[in-house]
Structure 1
């Protein structure tokens, strides 16, 4: 092979590899729910996700009530914002970055405490409008049976009924734009636990599931994968 041909081959391979990289969905994770071990759960989930699917991840690690997050500027380039936080008290400059993501209609996946992820004013907008929810507290430690109620929705594709979770969240009336996917039943009460919503033309997904045991369940992880790709308006793509 001549040096010219070798050079051309390198150019083609370089272009091809960059094209593949460009196709990956960029997910920015914000972790900060100590009670539900969000950091431990996501440090196991993210490598599992990246080793199987065509995604790349950046992360801002934090904890409940934290005053500032590192690495948050990565959100500017993210296709999907994945929120698993509880009552963060971030500076206005950082909240502007987060608000800019949802106000531009970009994809969001929220888990468990994402229904009260920030402080009061932002929670009211984020929970009720952006995610389409209505967080009203939670029950005790009764086991929760999770039932799929919108079985034909793409987010529930190949997702079985999750046999049990823990500490059912109470959900009031959802936004009119929300579509309920799953409900949780503890016998004495039944509440919506997973739904999708449309905000500013973009797609959002929320689930009040997300205790550490859920992250060990294959159907729960499949639910999150489906939600990531659906909110990003992409077909599920595996690592080849």
Structure 2
């Protein structure tokens, strides 16, 4: 109940921040439109990403739209408003085990196939969870075809994570130190327990940016990439990070990584001047369905 009240209060405030601000005077209509598609019911993306969107509007001049699950963050079968992807210049996904109807999936499919850029966070590696026999089951491999990430969770994908009591030390991969996405990014500690994507992912052709090593792991710690770029089959720029715990968003280096990745994804030069740390203090929880 406490979390639900927090979300209701936040939603009221966000109607003046991002969800309805795609045409604010501070963001000219010619500015790129960034659409955030949230629905993870674990990491509070419906609260963290609107704060990133607000920053992109007020300090960097972009237009943004944030889409959330309906009727609330627990819903897995409805994300209204996906038709705006037809107008988007960049789509940012933070999804987990969705089962969206075909008409909504069609908007995502058309966007990705257009060759426009995409960004993904953490549980987007297992964005969809359609059962055996469902003709939408191929969507379970969305991360593989869009981000060069494992096709779903566990099983043949060998995609797992370290225990919830572990955290992650994040370092810069030396060969990527001059990559513009890492401008101003320094090693940091992340609350996210490390996702294990090796040995088969990130996919061939990916450029690894950041590496993570589990702290207090529940099994032998093996370093794994936690941020990389790729090119979609349609030729679009793709950025993926397996980080995304709400406490990660408090880290200035993680914030810079995100802002830089937005610019890179849109084919723009990363800002030389950082606009300052973003105030983000969002709770983490494992809400259970009633």
Pairwise same-fold verdict (TM > 0.5): yes
Q: C-alpha distance in 1, partners of 2:146/2:46?
A: 24
* Secondary structure in structure 2 of the residue aligned to 1:163: strand
Task: Map 1:56-71 to 2 at 5 A.
Answer: 56-62=63-69, 63=73, 66-71=76-81
Equivalent position to 1:123, from 110, 117, 140 = 140
Tell me which residue corresponds to 1:202: 236
| Higher mean C-alpha deviation, range 89-98 or range 228-237 | 228-237
Distance 1:21 1:236, change over 3 A: farther
The aligned residue for residue 178 of structure 1 is 206
Summarize the Cα distance change of 1:64–1:207 in structure 2 as closer, same or farther, 3 Å threshold. Answer: farther
- Structure 1: gaps (5+ residues): 1-17
Residue number in structure 2 paired with 1:227: 261
Question: Compared with structure 1, are the counterparts of its residues 23 and 219 closer, same or farther at alpha carbon in structure 2 (3 Å cutoff)?
Answer: farther
- Is 2:162–2:214's contact at 8 Å kept on the other side of the alignment? no
Q: Does 1:77 align with 2:87?
A: yes
Post-superposition offset of 1:166: 2.3
Secondary structure of the 1:35 match is: coil
What is the match of residue 49 of structure 1?
56
Q: Is the 8 A contact 1:146 1:161 kept in 2?
A: yes
Correspondences of 1:5-154 after superposition (within 5 Å): 21-62=28-69, 63=73, 66-119=76-129, 120-124=137-141, 126-134=142-150, 136-140=159-163, 141-149=165-173, 150-154=176-180
Cα offsets for 1:137-171 (capped at 9, x unmatched): 21112121001111111111111112333211111
- Cα distance in structure 2, aligned partners of 1:68 and 1:32: 9
Aligned residues: 221
3-state DSSP of counterpart to 2:42? helix
CA contact (8 A) 1:146 1:165 kept: no
Structure 1 residue 133 displacement after superposition:
1.2
Q: Which residue, out of 190, 193, 196, partners 2:223?
A: 190
TM-score, normalised to structure 2, is 0.71
Higher strand proportion, which one? 1
Structure 1 or 2: more helix by fraction: 1
**Structure of larger gyration radius:** 1
Question: Matched residues in 2 for 1:147 and 1:118: separation?
Answer: 29
- Secondary structure (helix, strand or coil) at the match of 2:188 reads coil
Judge conservation of contact 1:129–1:175 (CA < 8 Å) in 2: no
Whether the 8 Å contact between 2:94 and 2:120 is mirrored in structure 1 is yes
Gaps of 5+ in 2: 1-24, 130-136, 154-158, 216-220, 276-290
Find the residue that maps to 1:102 and give its secondary structure.
helix
Moved more, 128-137 or 219-228: 128-137
Q: Is the 8 A contact 1:143 1:165 kept in 2?
A: yes
Question: Aligned equivalents of 1:65 and 1:127: distance in 2?
Answer: 20
